[in-house]
Amino acid sequence: MNSQLQTRNYFPLEQAQQLLAIYGSPLYIYDRDRLRQTIYYITQAISYSPTQFHFASVTNGNITLLQIFREAGWGLHANTPGDIYLGLCAGFQPQQIVYSGSNLNRAEMEQVLHWGITTLNLDSLSQLQLCCEVYQSLSSSHTLPLQLGLRLNQPEINGDSRIGVRPEEFPQAIALTQQAKLKLKGLHFYRGTGTNATKAFTQVIDTILNTAQQLPDWEYLDFGGGFGYPYRYDGATFDWHLFGKELTEHLQHLNQPIKLIIEPGRAAIAGCATLLTRVVSVKWQDSKQIVGVDTTVANLSVPAVHGGYREIVSLSSSNTNPCFLTDVCGNTTYSRDYLGRNCQLPELAIGDILAILDVGAYGYAMSSHFLHRPRPAEVLLESKEHRLIRKREDYSVLLSSQVF
């Protein structure tokens, strides 16, 4: 396989028209084959053994997609109890789920342990103490051997992060676990969200390994997530093979066998999805084209709310057509309802189909009922077939939990 994975994922106009005719617009579409290809690409890039891959489901919690990761031999990385619940519903065994979250209350910690989750990376001394207390309070029928780890906060490599435990707190953390007759077996490192610079990961490997060896019962390194995705076609691309090579070399030089856990989220799923939307309005303001579409920032919040770029292409126009500076606007008057600003798009007409690319991560997962519009359907492409994997909502959903 090529050392770099192809990232662009276009739909032929005829296929897009067919899917919208069946399922309606707007529409999230996932390509199963593309997802499997990406899973394989990441998996084979790291030769170190033992390595476990866990999908970070904070990026996308659709059950059907989670099952694709499970079938590929991956586990699940859970950021919240909700992530765990969805993972269990998708068929993951509790031992296949790693919890690495923060700020659980007692009831939530009890629920996590009752579900049988055995690997937990804790965010603070107080969360570690709570976990130990809850573990000790459980009846023997619920008590399972725990693998406890610390989420690392080391300013020289994490920057100004609220997440994690600092190395100077390790002795207190070790004492807490020993009092509960448990051991700290793991260290979890999180570089930061969406990092494409491979060197940002490889240059800190030595520091992380040296820090981890301060834990006397160290058995696993969770190198976390934060791996980026090249949303811009000419942007930097994370080099999985270089990362895997350097990480493997460092781990093989240790004096003890260490289990490696890798938790890709965005990098694994972003490129397999496209959001299709139809043009419903076109106007011109001087030389700028203002295009209104039948979706909204509530369905894809990243570009407007979080400043992330997502490429938009016209499926209804030839690549040879001249392009114009274009704003693609959602179907509300909310001042930040833009799907894309200052895009280069051909002259468009009502009914044309636009494809917003690479929306598999933090697309539907961050959608909401803000602006009181029901959310779109999700469809999975399977070779030449397609099937619904989430129903389109109707307006009744806006009242589903209200009491009046």
The per-residue pLDDT for range 302-336, each reduced to its tens digit, is 887 777 899 999 998 777 789 999 999 999 999 99
Which pLDDT belongs to residue 8? Answer: 56
CATH 3.90.79.10 matches 271-399: no
User: 3 pLDDT exceeds 50?
Assistant: no
Burial 122-140 (b: 16+ CB within 10 A, else e): bbbbebbbbbbebbeeeee
| Contacts of 274 by beta carbon, 8 Å cutoff, 6+ apart | 9, 11, 28, 29, 31, 355, 356, 357, 358, 359
Let me know if 111 is exposed, middle or buried by CB neighbors in 10 A (0-12, 13-18, 19+).
middle
The model's pTM is 0.94
More reliable by pLDDT, 144 or 49: 49
Beta pairing, strands 51-56 & 259-262:
parallel
CATH number, domain 45-264, options 3.40.50.2000, 3.40.50.360, 3.40.50.720, 3.20.20.10: 3.20.20.10
Share of the chain above pLDDT 70, in %: 96
The per-residue pLDDT for range 163-186, each reduced to its tens digit, is 889 999 999 999 999 999 999 999
Average pLDDT of the residues of the chain = 93
User: 6 pLDDT exceeds 70?
Assistant: no
The per-residue pLDDT for range 42-72, each reduced to its tens digit, is 999 999 999 999 999 999 999 999 999 999 9
Mean pLDDT of 243-263: 95
The structural domains of the chain, with segments of one domain joined by +, span: 45-264, 271-399
